[in-house]
Amino acid sequence: VLSFIIFICYIASLAASFMMAPLLEFLLALFLFFAYASRLNEKFKGVHWPLADFVRCVTAAIIYFAISIAAVSKYGDGASKAAGVFGFAATIVFAIDFYITFNDLVTFLKQGSSDSPEGHKTE
């Protein structure tokens, strides 16, 4: 939702060149949401879903931070300032999601790596 709000703010502002990043992030988050909701993560085991979510969070936080600084410092209209403020809020939200996803990724990787060596040790 926050990405969609930022997208709308960038469309209404002079900083319309930044609108692609929130749009792509919104669509990617929507895809991952529906993938988890429809349990695609259980059907397609070849894709490392926690890693995909982790990469999405990291790149979103970095990109939102960078374009928010540019929007606030370079453009003076209200919509650009609002998009920058919402972008900083999105940076914080994605950083929190990054931390949570990192913990899930570590448990996922420990689970995957502990299965293989124990299987070989017991045999």
- 87, 68 Cβ separation under 8 angstroms: yes
What string of DSSP letters covers the chain? -HHHHHHHHHHHSS-GGGTHHHHHHHHHHHHHHHHHHTTHHHH-TTS-HHHHHHHHHHHHHHHHHHHHHHHHHH--SHHHHHHHHHHHHHHHHHHHHHHHHHHHHHHHHHHHHHHHHHHHHH-
**115 has a pLDDT exceeding 80:** no
pLDDT class of 121 with cuts at 50, 70, 90 = very low
Long-range CB contacts for residues 66-75, cutoff 8 Å, separation at least 24: 67/18, 67/21, 70/15, 70/18, 71/10, 71/13, 71/15, 71/18, 74/15, 75/13, 75/14, 75/15
Give pLDDT tens digits for 15-51.
Answer: 888 889 899 999 988 988 898 899 887 888 777 777 8
pLDDT of residue 113: 60
pLDDT of residue 33: 87
pLDDT of residue 102: 87
- 18, 70 Cβ separation under 8 angstroms: yes
Q: Determine if the pTM surpasses 0.85.
A: no
pLDDT of residue 67: 92
pLDDT class of 119 with cuts at 50, 70, 90 = very low
Give pLDDT tens digits for 71-113.
Answer: 999 988 889 999 999 999 999 999 998 898 888 778 877 876 6
- Per domain, the residue ranges of the chain are 1-40+48-111
